[in-house]
Amino acid sequence: MQALRYIAIEGPIGVGKTTLAKLLAEEFNAQLILEEPEKNPFLPDFYKNPVNFAFQTEVFFMLSRYQQQCELAQQDLFEQMKIADYIFAKDWIFAQTNLSEPEFELYQSIYSLLDTKVPKPDLVIFLQASVEVLRKRIKQRGIPHEKSISGKYIESLCHTYNHYFFQYEDTPLLTVNCTETDIVRNHQDYKEILKGILHMKKNQIDKHYVSISSQ
């Protein structure tokens, strides 16, 4: 594995991507790159009425994240380490879950043109958690428009994520089962994830799995 200059974290809603990204950015003195879902004007309506607002929501996310990734590509990736709380393929994963077949075909035609132009991370960290844990964490963070997210939707999203990363070969991948973790209250949980990252770098491996059980 080459030097870790760009790490991206991915996983379903409520799994802890942004929290981990902030901790790693502090750990490595890295530039923090965060997705900005609150800037999507269609998102609140999507959670109320997914059928009518899915396409607008996903296209807005795709284009806004593409713009952010283009700005990243123009920077010197060797100047300072970058930590992101998403990968560009996040848009494709959500679109596959949320769009009808004709909508997804149109979305895919746009996505395929943009994907080749964004920088690829040196390492992707995929965070997993059970549907029950994700629902609990979503409720705890209390974002108003997320209150209507159903367990069925989260389950479908988890399935799509797991299927995507089971076949993932674009970059080195660290998969972390964090159903029983709390990296905010239990620093040892965070250290276990950090240990997994350093293990991959030291041993030059492309795939690694970490399962953490909090005491």
The residues spanned by each domain of the chain are 6-213
* pLDDT tens, position by position, 122-177: 999 999 999 999 998 888 888 887 877 888 999 999 999 999 999 998 999 999 98
| Cβ proximity of 119 and 42 under 8 Å | no
* Crossing angle between the packed helical segments 187-203 and 17-28, to the nearest 10 degrees: 70
* Site of tokens 């848009």: 91
Q: Which of 126, 131, 149 is nearest to 211 (CA)?
A: 126
- Which position has the higher pLDDT, 202 or 110? 110
| Cβ proximity of 124 and 87 under 8 Å | yes
Q: Which amino acid is at 88?
A: F
Give pLDDT, residue 26: 94
> Which entry of 76, 85, 189, 206 is annotated as an active-site residue?
85
Taking the C-alpha atoms of residue 37 and residue 47, their distance in angstroms, rounded to an integer, is 13
pTM of the model: 0.90
Residue 215: pLDDT band by 50, 70, 90 thresholds? Answer: very low
- 6-213 under CATH 3.40.50.1010, yes or no: no
In this structure, what token pair is assigned to residue 43? Answer: 């998102």
Residue 70: pLDDT band by 50, 70, 90 thresholds? Answer: confident
Give pLDDT, residue 211: 67
Is 76 catalytic? The answer is: no
Q: What is the pLDDT averaged over residues 61-70?
A: 91
Q: What is the pLDDT averaged over residues 30-43?
A: 91
